[in-house]
Chain A
Amino acid sequence: MYKIVYKKVLNPTVVMMDIEAPLVAKKAQAGQFIILRVDEEGERIPLTVAGYDRDAGTVKIIFQVVGATTEKLYHKNEGEYIQDFAGPLGVPTHLDGLNEVCIVGGGVGCAIALPVAQALKERGAKVTSIIGFRNKDLLILEDEFKACSDELIVMTDDGSYGRVGNVCIPLNEMFAGGRRFDKVITIGPLVMMKFVTMATRPTGIPCDVSMNPIMIDGTGMCGGCRLTLNVDGKRVTKFACVDGPDFNGYQVDFDEAISRGGAYRSFERHSHENTCNLFKKGVE
């Protein structure tokens, strides 16, 4: 069992937790993920590490409530325990040799982008961050990004905070103005990463994306997290759990990944509604 030592609600559907898991905390690096189960009957879900405290032995996770499992986790409080917490899994984000980087985060993906930005800042790199949200209410981690970015641009779809529009707008402006980076790293919804990749491609700047497909074991056994890369005209199957989760965005078949991401959507909606009803009953 793994103790929740800290919990903070960041916005109506996004929660931050520090979980006591000393072995994972000792090893975790930006870009890696963990697998957790909330309780004995729970499903295994992957969450990318949002931070860690090696001395305290805790790992930070930030998640959005999207289905039954995240709904149950949302209802857990400080001092309570979750059943399983295993990791760190996947290959850490490659940071070596990067002096000037643009980080593009979207929605809850900003939670994963933050440790990458922080790690780059610690290494002395110049960090430009663009973070986007649907509206002001969903904004998270602005202060944290400010602290580790040389430049921070906040976008909202409806203009209720920062600039109006999506993250590609300032990115395209920078490129048009001649700005260059050693790399663009983008983490967020698949559609956003697809468009950031498309916007960056003409510049020739390398563009890495962080994939978060459906997984079961997360250790290189089930193959559920497979995705297709286009490498030199050939289609190659890769596994996000052991080969990723970071990939060269120019090679990723996003349309396929988007389709695969929706495989259980109707199931998720149904089980989420059931779980919500259970919690409502509990309240009554």
Chain B
Amino acid sequence: MAKANMNPNKNPMPTQDALVRARNFDEVALGYDEQTAIDEALRCLNCKNKPCVNGCPVNIHIPEFIEKIKEGDFEGAYQIIARSSTLPAVCGRVCPQETQCEEKCVRGIKGEPVGIGRLERFVADWHNMHSDVTPECAPANGHKVAVVGSGPSGLTCAGDLAKAGYSVTVYEALHTAGGVLVYGIPEFRLPKAIVKKEVDNLAAMGVEVVTNVIIGKTLTVDELFDMGYEAVFIGSGAGLPNFMGIPGEALNGVYSANEYLTRSNLMKAYLDNPETPIMKGGKVAVVGGGNVAMDAARTALRLGAEKVYIVYRRSMDELPARREEVEHAEEEGIEFRLLCNPVEILGYENPDDKRDPKNGFVSGIRCIRMELGEPDERGRRRPVEIPGSEFTLDVDTVIISIGTSPNPLIKSTTDGLEVNRWGGIIVTEDGATTKDGVYAGGDAVTGAATVISAMGAGKIAAKAIDEYLQNK
């Protein structure tokens, strides 16, 4: 085997040129080639205590799969990842590795950690291009489980149960499977073909995916039990978008990030002559600093906006989005208005012409400058308004991206399912809800979080469901 690579820096990820990609929806990051992947793999010291594995919410055997890459056995590497993760091509792209596996990497002490995420992506893409092998499933055990929602937690739970021999049906409310992976995360960060491939993989393993069924409405959780399912996993995702409660939020041209991204991603409003409309072009302000805000801002740019602002009330240090996403956004020309908070969205009103088609549309957003005061209970310094510092940004579209509240549909139609005061489903450590045989995970439990933490929850619940049904 080749010598360890002691270069302190990761092999850079090849990307589309910033100014070119800012005007197309093709994937930004292009992925390692085989040589680069092997070179990066050789940076891994294969250390004994494997701190990276503990940093991974689904405990992928990281050094083992990297060893396989060093040997050039890419399919072998994939099989090792597949033991722990159902969606490696997805996670290799959207996981915040810098705060998980890579944060724990020993190489990160003096230099950059091993590019674990980039290697995971390489392995998954290599597998998808070269191999049609579906993961092996245990012989059918005759037990039926229903999974509610086909996002990351549902797909993971379904995959693990199918591998264990269960007959699994996934119910999806929308017309396409994938949940937030298809309606939320944009094409340029996660191509939909990859999500489809992962869903097709599950189908090949015998998982049935039923779209257009809203659990809590079309069928209730209790009816699923009547239909012969012995356990139910709820992974229904985050719910209704939060708004700020400032004047002007009902003006035309004000979107929640959920709506804006759904129009563009799920409904393909970014294509020419789409059937679902979206307001393109002009000047756009995105309010919020998370990954969803970055996705919305970068989508707006690609839809043709001449100017896109991120308006965030704290400073760059507190910005919750992944560093990589922030850097990409800056390179593409998105302007960050930090330490600013909106106080009002202004609307156009022509006093002389009530029929002016611009009436009722956004004309600007009024913000106030902030400074950081004392830390709050979570240790983040609290933003405080600077009196008299208001100013107006001239925009015609405002996208509010300040989080979501849990969806009420399942809770309101399921007796015995308890939620906390924020509306999140209450679960034990292994994902069991207060209702017998019902498990839950992902954003429906935690509120908005990451794809990988939802996958982790789906995995834990699958294990718990297996134990529950084996002991029943």
Binding site for B on A (CB under 8 A): 23-24, 27, 37, 41-44, 68-69, 83-89, 216-217, 219-224, 226-228, 237, 239, 242, 253, 256, 259-260, 262-268, 271, 274
Specify which of B212, B252, B266, B357 lies most central, judged by the most chain A CB atoms within 10 Å of its CB.
B212
Q: What are 18 A-B contacts with C-beta separation under 8 Å?
A: A23-B213, A43-B276, A68-B275, A84-B175, A85-B212, A216-B259, A216-B267, A220-B407, A220-B408, A222-B241, A223-B256, A223-B258, A226-B243, A226-B250, A237-B245, A242-B408, A259-B359, A260-B250
Q: Are B174 and A87 in contact (CB under 8 A)?
A: no
Task: Indicate whether A271 sits within 8 Å of B173 (C-beta atoms), given known contacts A86-B218, A222-B241, A259-B359.
Answer: no
Q: Are B262 and A263 in contact (CB under 8 A)?
A: no
Q: Are A221 and B407 in contact (CB under 8 A)?
A: yes
B183 surroundings in chain A (CB, below 8 A): 217, 221
Task: Tell me if B435 is interfacial: C-beta within 8 Å of chain A.
Answer: no
Contact of B273 among A43, A84, A274 (CB under 8 A): A274
Chain B's interface: helix, strand, loop or mixed, by majority? loop
Task: Tell me if B277 is interfacial: C-beta within 8 Å of chain A.
Answer: yes
The 7 closest A-B pairs by CB, nearest first: A259-B360, A223-B256, A86-B212, A223-B241, A222-B259, A263-B252, A43-B276
B266 surroundings in chain A (CB, below 8 A): 216
Task: Tell me if B469 is interfacial: C-beta within 8 Å of chain A.
Answer: no
Q: Are B218 and A24 in contact (CB under 8 A)?
A: yes
A256 surroundings in chain B (CB, below 8 A): 250
Q: Are A260 and B252 in contact (CB under 8 A)?
A: yes
Chain B residue at minimum C-beta to C-beta distance from A84: B175
Q: Are B259 and A224 in contact (CB under 8 A)?
A: yes
A220 surroundings in chain B (CB, below 8 A): 239-240, 407-409
Contact of A237 among B173, B174, B212, B249 (CB under 8 A): B249
Determine the distance from Cα of A69 to Cα of B255 in the docked complex, in whole angstroms. Answer: 22
Task: Indicate whether A42 sits within 8 Å of B275 (C-beta atoms), given known contacts A221-B262, A224-B259.
Answer: yes
Q: Are A217 and B241 in contact (CB under 8 A)?
A: no
Chain B residue at minimum C-beta to C-beta distance from A41: B275
Interface residues of B in 407-422 (CB under 8 A from A): 407-409
A67 to chain B, nearest CB (A): 9
A247 to chain B, nearest CB (A): 15
Specify which of B218, B239, B241 lies most central, judged by the most chain A CB atoms within 10 Å of its CB.
B218
Binding site for A on B (CB under 8 A): 173-175, 183, 211-214, 217-219, 237-241, 243, 245, 249-253, 255-256, 258-259, 262-263, 266-268, 273, 275-277, 357, 359-360, 407-409
Determine the distance from Cα of A223 to Cα of B261 in the docked complex, in whole angstroms. Answer: 12
Q: Are B262 and A216 in contact (CB under 8 A)?
A: yes
B253 surroundings in chain A (CB, below 8 A): 263
B288 to chain A, nearest CB (A): 14
B276 surroundings in chain A (CB, below 8 A): 43-44, 216
Determine the distance from Cα of A42 to Cα of B276 in the docked complex, in whole angstroms. Answer: 7
Determine the distance from Cα of A217 to Cα of B265 in the docked complex, in whole angstroms. Answer: 13
A83 surroundings in chain B (CB, below 8 A): 175
B237 surroundings in chain A (CB, below 8 A): 221
A237 surroundings in chain B (CB, below 8 A): 243, 245, 249-250
A27 surroundings in chain B (CB, below 8 A): 217-218
Contact of B218 among A23, A221, A224, A267 (CB under 8 A): A23
A86 to chain B, nearest CB (A): 4
B243 surroundings in chain A (CB, below 8 A): 223, 226, 237
Chain B residue at minimum C-beta to C-beta distance from A27: B218
B262 surroundings in chain A (CB, below 8 A): 216-217, 221-222
Task: Indicate whether A69 sits within 8 Å of B275 (C-beta atoms), given known contacts A220-B407, A221-B262.
Answer: yes
B259 to chain A, nearest CB (A): 4
A268 surroundings in chain B (CB, below 8 A): 277
Chain A residue at minimum C-beta to C-beta distance from B219: A23
Chain B residue at minimum C-beta to C-beta distance from A263: B252
Specify which of B359, B360, B408 lies most central, judged by the most chain A CB atoms within 10 Å of its CB.
B360
- Known interface pairs A89-B214, A239-B240, A242-B408; 16 further A-B residue pairs with C-beta atoms within 8 A, sorted by A's residue number: A44-B276, A86-B214, A217-B174, A219-B173, A220-B239, A221-B238, A221-B239, A222-B258, A223-B243, A223-B259, A237-B250, A242-B409, A260-B250, A262-B360, A263-B252, A268-B277
